[in-house]
Amino acid sequence: MKDCNVLPDFKPGYIELQPIPKFQYQRTLADELQGNISREQALDLLALMQMVRCFEECIVDMKDGKWTPQEGFKFIGASHLSIGQEAVPAGALSCIEKTDLITSTHRGHGHGIAKGYFALRQMTGDELLDWMVKSGAPQADVNAARGETREQVLARAIDLHLFKTFAELFGKEEGYCRGRGGGMHIADFNVGHLGANAIVGGSFAIAVGAAMAAEKLDTGQVCICFVGDGAMNNGIGAEAMNFAAQDQFTKGCPVVFLVENNQYGMTGQQDKEVTGIDFLAQRAAGFARDNMHAEVVNGMDVLAVRDAIARAVECCRQGDGPVLVECETYRYYGHSLSDLRDTYRTKDEEACWKSQDAIDRYVDKLVDAGVASREALTQLLAEIKTRVQAAGVKAAVEGTDPETADMLEGLFSPNCCVEPDARWRTALEKEPRKVRRDKEGQIFVRQAVAEALIEEMQLDRRVILYGEDVADYGGAFQVTRGILDVFGRERVFNAPISEAAIVGTAVGAAAAGLRPVCELMYIDFILMAMDQVGNQAAKNRYMFGGKAEIPMVIRTTVGGGKGYAGQHSQSLEAVCTMIPGLKVVAPSTAYDVKGLLKSAIRDNNPVVFIEHQSIYTLKGVCPEEEFLVPIGQAAVRREGTDVTIVGYSMPILVAQEAAELAAQEGISCEVIDLRTLIPMDEATVLNSLKKTGRLVCVNQAPKTGCFAEHIVARMQEIGFEYFKGPAQIIAAYDCPPPMAATLEAEFQPNARRILEGIRKAVGATVTA
């Protein structure tokens, strides 16, 4: 980064850390009622806490057989409860705007209920009706609501909110995620709830990405990232916090890391067992000079939580994020209802925490402040319990089970080629310099990549580019060099060497309105990010009922032939193709690289875009005018009648050399470049197989478990009758890529090995 010099300074001294405040809140409810909170808001906090507790008590009762919403109903699914922790979601989400964002955790019923509840209470009558329509309310209910007062419509909306939460828990079509996610994966994008996550710490980077999108799109939103104490010990936590605190984010990253420390990560005790610190907030000192404004608050006091998060949110809105707030709280039940909690904690400990119960103590405060009598509050609590149970009964009785015929609905967005909107076009002081073509109209493949990126970034300012070393240096292969000069660091910037954070922030940024292109230097490194690739990017849309749009591209490279050995030369595309929800592209020519990359950026689905390092310096014809290559269409590179050769990326170029050698022996080969692995153009391959009856598949990955095996298996499944002999797979050896030149030359598919496969395919038929 040439913007600032890093100079040697070896003067002796000490690194001094700023103190982190803890339990500073000492105000009373009477104090808060003097302008900070209204009587109605004070009662709302109690109502919400009771709503969350009653919702989860229904789950306990159903598991114990004490209460069932209908005869014969059986509750299945996860039961990770937050009973005891209600003050945290109530206090935190009572002080944000309805448009603000949250990410949640597997113990997230309270977060979802609270986000919806407080967002609905901020809506106008028309906004409530609109939310009801978007949320799938029965038309009769919507029609009835049109003639009611705002308060009546609000009551309907809150009941619908509870119903949809129960319905998701029960796996019903009316649930927030159409029953695809269940209790651990609830989201409502209509109120900025970007989803709960069953992977501990899984949403850490997603929240940072969403906050980054809010800052870059200037929406004014803040993202509250709910994480548990266990997540603070996970690698993605460190990566995400470091990412959010980068100095190059001069406007700050508007994310609040809210650590809900209920003292146990499943059974591991945070204090005096699985960590070496007294408070998890101490970790903040390792990521930012200002400790990310960290503080520790009483998570059993709803007013203390509200005060801390209100200040944290304002800090973010002023451009001084990120912020970390640790809320000390307690879960009364175990990790799940099957957890024998007395094996790792004592009854005395539980009793001490229950003496600080958030609801009981807050009722005392309401009475002491003269907000309501104890009798009135007791009646309010009973009414809420009845209301919650009614929503559960309605969900069980009226909810419908999803149809098995709809199993795949929502996996991919149908918006796979979004036309650029003139509103998002980038206004540049001068047009980027065009790449000079040779007399045949050819450019290098690496230039085709850069040209595609520049064109799409110019067409849509929501497209950003980041990754390891992509800015000043232009990436490890100089592919993106010069793009920073065109768009500046707001759009092109280096990321820390944090592959999980790179991909995870892209997921969050895409969900919040950007169209990120993130780069992983080598596909070998994707294994560092596989949770974010496989459990987040790939599953987000389907898991949340087909409602999320995740328009992101993961650019990465495969290699070989350079002696880089086992951790810089692998071909791991099959790792990605086996995960539903990802599109996987692997082009071989300059034309296809540019056209497919542009299509990938315009696709509203996550795309893994694989570039082979060995083709960067190859030339190919690539028009200057606008063009796209559709994802999912193969190209017939050579027509033939005897053998069908199928491959992609660099190996298909080698296969064409082998086809030429085969032609000299009188064997006519048809060569098909898949270009896209997922979705695969099965029709083109099958039509060729019908003509030739013989199949040779080529790829650079080790043979066992490679994508070529999938091609063969699929063709055997849909075209068995057309085979005249066994299919052949030409792949790498079943070992890591070796460094030695002699071994590496043999390890990869070469023209000789492919020709041998062609001969075997034909010879097998002749012998038969």
Measured in whole angstroms, the distance separating CA 198 from the mean position of its chain's CA atoms is 12
**What is the chain's Cα-based Rg?**
29
pLDDT digits (tens, 9 = 90+) for 159-197: 999 999 999 999 999 999 999 999 999 999 999 999 999
Q: Measure the CA–CA gap between 331 and 768, rounded to whole angstroms.
A: 70
What is the DSSP track for 409-476? TTSS-S--SPPPPGGG----SSPPPPPPP-TTSEEEHHHHHHHHHHHHHHH-TTEEEEETT-SSS-ST
The CA-CA-CA angle for residues 624, 626, 630, to 5°, reads: 120
pLDDT digits (tens, 9 = 90+) for 53-105: 999 999 999 888 888 888 888 888 888 999 999 999 999 999 999 999 999 99
Our CA dihedral for 538, 541, 544, 547, rounded to 10 degrees, sits at 170
pLDDT digits (tens, 9 = 90+) for 112-165: 999 999 999 999 999 999 999 999 999 999 999 999 999 999 999 999 999 999
Residue 768 has pLDDT above 70, yes or no: no
Strands 619-621, 635-638: pairing is unpaired
Active site residues: 568
- Give me the half-sphere count of Cα atoms (radius 13 Å) on the Cβ side of residue 152: 9
Q: Measure the CA–CA gap between 559 and 568, rounded to whole angstroms.
A: 7
Q: Measure the CA–CA gap between 579 and 592, rounded to whole angstroms.
A: 24
Residue 41 has pLDDT above 80, yes or no: yes
Residue 430 has pLDDT above 80, yes or no: no
- In order of start, what are the domains of the chain with their CATH numbers? 29-395 (3.40.50.970), 422-621 (3.40.50.970), 636-767 (3.40.50.920)
Q: Measure the CA–CA gap between 291 and 288, rounded to whole angstroms.
A: 5
Q: Count Cβ neighbours within 10 Å for each residue of 371-393 and write b for 16 or more, e otherwise.
A: bbeeeebeebbeebbebbbebbb
pLDDT digits (tens, 9 = 90+) for 627-681: 999 999 999 999 999 999 999 999 999 999 999 999 999 999 999 999 999 999 9
Query: Contact, 195 vs 537, CB < 8 A?
Result: no
Q: Per the structure block, which two tokens stand in for 19?
A: 């103190």
Q: Per the structure block, which two tokens stand in for 535?
A: 């459990």
- Residue 464: what residue type? I
Q: Measure the CA–CA gap between 246 and 239, rounded to whole angstroms.
A: 11
What pLDDT is stored for residue 405 in this prediction? Answer: 95
Task: Band the pLDDT of 766: cuts 50, 70, 90.
Answer: very low
Q: Which of 708, 703, 706, 685 is nearest to 634 (CA)?
A: 685
Residue 37 has pLDDT above 90, yes or no: yes
Residue 428 has pLDDT above 60, yes or no: yes
Matching residue, tokens 């994966």: 185
Measured in whole angstroms, the distance separating CA 231 from the mean position of its chain's CA atoms is 16
pLDDT digits (tens, 9 = 90+) for 442-469: 999 999 999 999 999 999 999 999 999 9
Q: What is the DSSP letter of 688?
A: H
The CA-CA-CA angle for residues 366, 367, 369, to 5°, reads: 65
Mean pLDDT of the chain: 95
Query: Contact, 730 vs 749, CB < 8 A?
Result: yes
By CB atoms closer than 10 A (0-12, 13-18, 19+), residue 98 is: middle
Residue 373 has pLDDT above 50, yes or no: yes
